[in-house]
Every structure is written in structure tokens, then in C-alpha cells.
Amino acid sequence: VDCEVLAIGTELLLGQVVDTNSAWIGQQLAAAGIPCYEQTKVGDNHGRIVAALRAALGRGSDIICCGGLGPTQDDITREAIAEVMGVELRRQPELVARLKERFAGREIPEINYKQADLPAGAVPILASAGTAPGLVCPVGANVIYAVPGVPSEMREMVGGSVVPDLVRRSGRQATIRSRFLRVWGMTESRVAEVVAPRVEALEAPGSNTTIAFLASAREGIRVRITARASGEDAEAAALQALDKEEAELRALLGEAVGGVDDEGLEVVVGRLLTDYGLRVAVAESLTGGMVSARLTSVPGASNWFAGGVVSYGEDVKRSLLGVGPGPVVSEHAAEEMALGVMDVLNADIGLSLTGVAGPTSQDDQPVGTVFVGLAGGEGSGTGSGVRNSKADVTQLSLRGDRQLVRERATTQALDLLRRQLIEHPRPRHS
């Protein structure tokens, strides 16, 4: 059986809030192997919610309803489901008790009592204390699930109760686990080419593991491994399958694999710097602080991030960082910036970026030309980088508008730093 998603809320139709819940639920359903053929948004209107539910049931689908479980007059999901089920709402004593616990002695506003009402025959989903319950509502052979629209509550209930119930009802009795490998410094098509042997191997009959790709300018490429297992030790078997496939993919992708799951480049770089006891300083021109901002988004960054200089104007490059005569968008300027910032901020490694974000060219260089300098590591090894005795400089040609060039330059500079740390972990001053 497939499962549709019905997002409820007039603010979604007016575009005041973008419906990200449905996309997240879609990801979970896909990872669990449950087909999702349609996702709908309707406003806080009884007749339209009822019609949308009936239409989905008419297609033979299960439904996850998202939103409309709060205490206000707008929140009418319970009533609409009761009408579709052909039953009354009944106040549940155990939910009233829970409500009293939540209000901890304070008077419960009359309006809140409706959160203790369930359509007859429905079962509550009780998530963390303090939130309204979700609903599991059988309708013939199908089920309508209802969860709150608040993303954190929705995620807890869908991930913890709804998807497992859908999987159980599908008769597969399977455990499904996913893991993301984060890949940087390769194009999506190159990644696909490199891991093609694994895609092929996993298509063999009896395989319970799949891989898929997701790409974005900021997040790099994420390779998702999904493993399904059943039986008594299903959990352990699924995790073992993930470990096995991760090892296979790492053997093919090598150091292009930076992090796992939610680890961004900045987290990986921070961990490597911590491991080696090094501190980095950053000099930025075209990215104007974006590299430093990403590094400092990691809690505890002060242990491995010395600081940064945003040398946007030419005079700052020359006076503070000691960049000599000649064009400031150049290999030479990138080198001097990296050495300069390492020196001025007393760091072990200096990372620099100078380039042309657009909209117009500069120093006879076209938009998208970026020089990334790395000082303090020994030797070269930074891709197509130019070697010399003082700092490695890599020239990039990036596509896109001003914001995209800045975003891509930031990501690539962090990846160059990551690769430098993997290959040449010793600081120059050690």
C-alpha cells in the first residue's frame, strides 16, 4: 500500500510558510521503501480536508495528515477525520490526565481540552511530554495518521511511530536503516561513475541494500546507503550491512569521502585540526567572511580557529596582510594573503581566497576565477595547485552568479584545507 501526505494549513497555500514537512516525510517513506504517489496541501477548511481525505482513500492509499492538531478554532483535523470515519469525537480520560500533567497545576484553558478528544476507534500517538498527541485512525483497510505541523514534533512521531507502523502493516516486518556519506571535490556524474560497480552489485537478486545520490552546492554530494533486514537481529544486521557498504564505497571514493550523516565540511575540518593540535587563520576577499562564518558555526571552534581577516578592500590586503605590488586577484596575492594572515594571527595554517565574484571582471580576470592559498602545510598535493616553497595556490574556475560563486568558493576552499590536512598533517612551524 502507498501512503500520501496531506499538509493542512491556510498559511501553506498563501505561501507564508514553505511546506518542508512533506518533503521530509517523503524522504522517510522512500528510505523505508513505502511508495508515495501524491502530496497535497489544503487550508483550514472542514469540507476541503474531508474531501481530500476521501479522495486519497478512494485511491486506496494510507494518509499522513500534518497540522491542525493545536487547540485553536483553526485546528480542525480531528473533526474532519471523525467525519470521514463516520464516528464521534470522544474525550479520553488518560489524555485529560496527560493534559493536567502538562499544565502542572495551572488552570487548563477550556480550549485546550479538545486536544484530549479522539475519533472513536482511533489510537493516540504519545510523543514527548508537553505535546499534543498524534492519531492512528483505521478506516476500512487503510489508516489515516495525524501528526502536528510543528517540525520537531512531526519528526518525532513520523520517525518513531508512523513509519514503523507502516512498515509493520506492509507485512515486511523489516528494519530499515540509512546512512549518508558526504563527498566533496567531485562532480555528481563522476561520483556515479566511480561507484557504478557497487550500484550494479546491489542490483543482484537478494540484495537488501540500495544507494542513491543527492547533490547541492553547499552540502556537496551525499551518497545515501539504505539497508533493510528482518528477523530477530534485524537491527544489528541492518547496521552491519551499512558498515559493509560504507567500507566498499570508501574503498572506491577514497578521501573524497569527508563526513558521515550531518557532518558538514566545517565539522570535519575542525576535527582534523583538533586531532593534529593545529589552528587555522583565514584571509578572505571575494567570500567576505563566509569561510570564517562556516568554521565558527561549529561549537568549540575557538580551539582550532585563530581568526580571520576580511581583506575586501585592496588597502587592507596591502597594509594588514603585506600583499605587495601587482594585481590582487592573482596567484601571488593569494600566496601572500595566506602567509600574511598566518603570521598576523599567529596561526599554524593560513588559508586565503581572492577572486572575482562578479557581476564584473577584475584585474583582467573573468567572473568565477578564484585563487585559494594554503600556507603552513609542507609540500603540495592540493589538486591542480601550483607548488612553491612558501604556500600552495590552487586556481578555480567557478560557474554561477555572484552568490553561487561565493558559496562554491567557500566549499572548495574548505575542501582543499581538508585534503591538505589529510595528506600533510604536520604544521610548518612544528
Check residue 41 for interaction with its own copies (CB under 8 A). yes
User: Which set of grid coordinates corresponds to residue 264?
Assistant: 558538514
Binding window for its own copies (CB under 8 A); candidates: 91-99, 137-145, 228-236, 308-316: 308-316
Q: Which residues pair with residue 221 across a beta bridge?
A: 183, 215
DSSP state string for 71-84: SSTT--HHHHHHHH
Q: Which is nearer to its own copies, 317 or 424 (CB)?
A: 317
CB of 28 to its own copies, least distance (A): 8
Residues with Cβ within 8 Å of 124's Cβ and at least 6 positions away in sequence, in order, are: 92, 95, 118, 133, 134, 135, 136
Check residue 12 for interaction with its own copies (CB under 8 A). yes
CB 183 within 8 A of CB 220: yes
Give the residue, chosen from 87, 108, 310, 404, that forms a contact with its own copies under the rule CB under 8 A: 310
Q: Which is nearer to its own copies, 90 or 179 (CB)?
A: 179
Check residue 292 for interaction with its own copies (CB under 8 A). yes
Distance separating alpha carbons of residues 38 and 53, to the nearest angstrom: 12
Query: For residues 330-389, which are near its own copies according to CB under 8 A?
Result: 344-346, 358-359
Q: Which of these, 79, 68, 21, lies nearest to 43 by C-alpha position? A: 68
Give the residue, chosen from 48, 90, 172, 428, that forms a contact with its own copies under the rule CB under 8 A: 48
Q: Which is nearer to its own copies, 287 or 420 (CB)?
A: 287
Q: Which is nearer to its own copies, 45 or 240 (CB)?
A: 45
Evaluate the omega torsion of the peptide bond into residue 325 and state whether it is cis, within 30 degrees of 0.
no
Q: Is residue 155 within a helix (H) or strand (E), and if so which, with residue range?
A: helix 151-157
Q: How long is the chain?
A: 430
Check residue 309 for interaction with its own copies (CB under 8 A). yes
User: Which set of grid coordinates corresponds to residue 129?
Assistant: 511530554
Starting at the edge strand found earlier in the chain, the sheet holding 220-230 runs: 209-216, 220-230, 174-183, 257-260
Q: Which is nearer to its own copies, 1 or 17 (CB)?
A: 17
Check residue 15 for interaction with its own copies (CB under 8 A). yes
Residues that bind its own copies (CB under 8 A): 12-20, 22-28, 30, 36-43, 45, 48, 52, 55, 214, 279, 282, 284, 286-293, 295-297, 299, 301-302, 305-316, 319-320, 344-346, 358-359, 402-403, 406
